[in-house]
Amino acid sequence: MKLEQGMKFLLIGDSITDCERAKPEGEGLFGALGKGYVAFVDALLQSVYPELGIRTVNKGISGNTVRDLEKRWQEDVVDQQPDYLSIMIGINDVWRQYDTPFIKDYHVYIDEYKETLEALIKKTKPLVTGLVLMTPFYLESNEKDAMRHTMDQYGEVVKQLAEKYDCLFVDTQEAFNIILKELYSATLAWDRVHPTATGHMVLARVLLKELGFDWNKS
């Protein structure tokens, strides 16, 4: 497994990461890590790899775009000095183009998205042991759906940046596509964005798989 003894694993993103985590510091007891994939990841790490003592930190904030991450990056990432960092951002960057089409101030178009995310990667990559880039997703099986099509384009940006900067890459959309062959979108997310517990487990599983988690470890 790529996470080693005593490492600090920080996960940052939007509401999918946030998931009602404690503020300002998303770690500790009593649901501090929220109710989503971050909490599942931590629970699995503690139950399967208790000897490693991995410290999991949730720095997701609901509604965030990559612009918001840039504004809080120093305090919420750099100053935290994580060993491993996971970034999943882009859903709101795309969604605002569709749910508030006339409020263009909210829109983060793909060129800005790429430029901003790349700047954060370049700044942070030398400071951490490992960097994981997770794609944004939209739980719509119709690839011709307008928002799904745009989301796929933003996901491709993440893939390209992961390859360029030698980061671990997690294709969350592809992971969901497999499930969507069997389940209707609303089963995984009523709004096709905010997952049920099942959806969050899909995210936890695909992330841990990329980190080399041994599901058969006794």
CATH H-level superfamily of 8-210: SGNH hydrolase (3.40.50.1110)
Token pair belonging to 161 = 């940046």
Q: Is 107 an active-site residue?
A: no
Instruction: Give the pLDDT confidence score for residue 159 in this predicted structure.
Output: 98
Residue type, position 15, single letter = S
Token pair belonging to 65 = 């775009």
Taking the model in full, what pTM does it have?
0.95
Cα–Cα distances in angstroms (integers) from residue 27 to residues 6, 10, 39, 42, 44, in the given order: 15, 10, 9, 10, 15
What percent of the chain shows pLDDT beyond 90?
99
Where do the structural domains in the chain lie, given as residue ranges?
Answer: 8-210
Q: What is the pLDDT of residues 159-203, one digit of tens each?
A: 999 999 999 999 999 999 999 999 999 999 999 999 999 999 999
Q: What is the pLDDT of residues 3-43, one digit of tens each?
A: 999 999 999 999 999 999 999 999 999 999 999 999 999 99
Exactly one of 62, 68, 107, 194 is catalytic; name it: 194
Q: Is 191 an active-site residue?
A: yes
Exactly one of 68, 185, 191, 214 is catalytic; name it: 191
Q: Is 194 an active-site residue?
A: yes
Exactly one of 15, 42, 76, 86 is catalytic; name it: 15
